[in-house]
Structure 1
């Protein structure tokens, strides 16, 4: 018979629940990755015309220039890759913004970032004659960066607080979208070209756009994931974060930089897509608890699940045409988010 000391038994009892929670979270993340891989395959195979798995394999790995090969390699593969990248970016940026502002209803629009992208794109269309998606990318990214700097400056720079950042973002959002509406009213050509971009779509994806935005998304993703521990401290309040040794000014600057890279590149590539960055982190928080070290990876996996799933639904329900992914995420996200908000235990950070 093996005797266990009371001290050792107490230690085992105290450490067992955290270990079980970690195991459950890891298992849930693995299942989520499996679902994501399934949707990646579905996104490549399903469209206006479904393509058998054998043809999909041939188009991906034995390209010979057949019609199905062209559809797989040149149309659906870039669209799927862009949906995957944009989904990760929206999920991470939403989770970081919610932690930074301590507001569970926050999304990239709260800080005026999507408005900055829209203002820059409409200016490029109206005043510079830019008409291609590859041109939109750089102007949208520039507009997002300028809006983030403006919000951070108005929010108090190093003395910024969550409330100040939210108020500054709301003011910048209103001002920039007022400018966008004014330009569109005065320039019908700009209105026509902006209409497709502002609805949020993956339909015009190509490998050129994917290559342009990937470096920004990779840097933003790494930076966001690295901020998990610091954002955990920020979520406890400024005084507690300082007591724990967190440098608040640096954390907020790096968080704004991560959100700018992620939201800017994602918005530039396919326009503003609603509800993904707002709803998924909110849902994930109910599954993982408040620990950002788990919320961020989960959001990075489940957000592209939602985005690719919405894109596949949009292609199926309106064959041979399609619904833009921004429309589908709004139709899905609105009722689901209302339900989530009404559940009191999920409505708080």
Structure 2
């Protein structure tokens, strides 16, 4: 059903990873392969979004989605921010960039971002970080746009369904990058994908997409068996040829093991899973981390310069718990491998289970 709804060949969605990994080339290649590519546009300006969408549309006529961050409500604590700036200046000194001793300005561009997406003719939009209002969902649906949103608990899934979203992405705690939690943020539950998906499937009536820790055909088979209608993968696409991830990020993924990631608020002020490094550990130890998106803005100059200089101790490198399963290949090869791996996983089901008609009491 979801393949027909999204007009795709395979129930596979490439996650909208903001910050650079989802290049137009990656999004187009995924969609051309029969899955659904997604542009991670959360950090992009309206102009950048329009240009990226135009580039994708020149590369493919297949459907693709755009992911946006819903606006966050937060309070400005100037003392907290200036104290954090003092600590962050130690990293700026190391990198040779100007120190900062002020509270940054923050402009909410969500409405402009969304308008560009609508005007560009995109027919699939996904949201994270909050619950879209019913009026927003209805407005998009009246424009022929399919609406997806992220839940990390059953309660959040119920809230999203009440808003009328078409598809719910069930994000398990294994997932790389930012958590989509929007209820009980201060005491958020870290529910694994295998536990979360069937509970959401049993509670809501709309299609559910499993996300978190899925890297190959085995993961797809497991997710669909749990009742998911499709899967969403992010980390697996970080190391493909078309990815915009930095070289040090790619190498960190390719050389990783199962214990290399942790969830932190150090880089953005919002819980996100990535590879632990010096900056993550030290900022957490200092404490007093401003909320998202303030902390994201505070650390942005450091992360950009560190990435430019190849300093992996001072950048955020998001990845999921199954990152060690990532491989160097093209996006087409990855999608093809996912499909073939799924078929193999299904074929490997013990024949005794396939032949069971009725269990004896």
- Determine which structure has the larger helix proportion and give its number: 1
Q: Which has the higher contact order (CA 8 A, sep 6+)?
A: 1
Alignment TM-score > 0.5, same fold: no
Calculate the TM-score normalised by the size of structure 2: 0.25
The structure with the greater share of residues assigned to strand is: 2
TM-score computed with the length of structure 1 as normaliser: 0.26
